[in-house]
Amino acid sequence: MTVNQNANDATGRRYVADLLAYYSLLPHTPDRPNRHDRRIAAQLCDQQVPLDAVKTAFILAISRRTFRSADAFPLEPIRSLAYFLPVISEVQISDIDPVYIDLLKRRLKTGFPDLDAPPLQTPIPW
């Protein structure tokens, strides 16, 4: 995204739509974002958070949920895009190796046999 764009211009509206589409494709999230999710997406756009950083945060958060200990207490479904805000902040201040993210994407598709973690039932299509 270029400087000075916001959620009200054409590029900003595309950013918000793309972000919400990615969010809705994730496991454990609602099929349709609500107006609060739209507001958060618009704020991320206005803050010029790169969409790739948001997608990286999605991969990290879903991996953390997926590859938990089998005897860990079950997690509730994700009800809001707000769930990802701390991970988005983490991604923005960290230097996360893209190779690591690619590994996580592969593990989400194939599972993690060493941890007895199966793949996602519905792989993330991006």
pLDDT tens for each residue of the chain, 126 residues long:
444 568 779 999 999 999 999 999 998 899 999 999 999 999 999 999 999 999 999 999 999 998 887 788 989 999 999 999 999 999 999 999 999 999 999 889 888 777 677 777 776 776
pTM of the model: 0.88
3-state secondary structure the chain: CCCCCCCCCHHHHHHHHHHHHHHHHCCCCCCCCCHHHHHHHHHHHHCCCCHHHHHHHHHHHHHHHHCCCCCCCCCCCCCCHHHHHHHHHHHHHCCCCHHHHHHHHHHHHHCEHHHCECCCCCCCCC
**Greatest CA separation for the chain:** 47
The answer to whether 108 touches 62, Cβ cutoff 8 Å, is yes
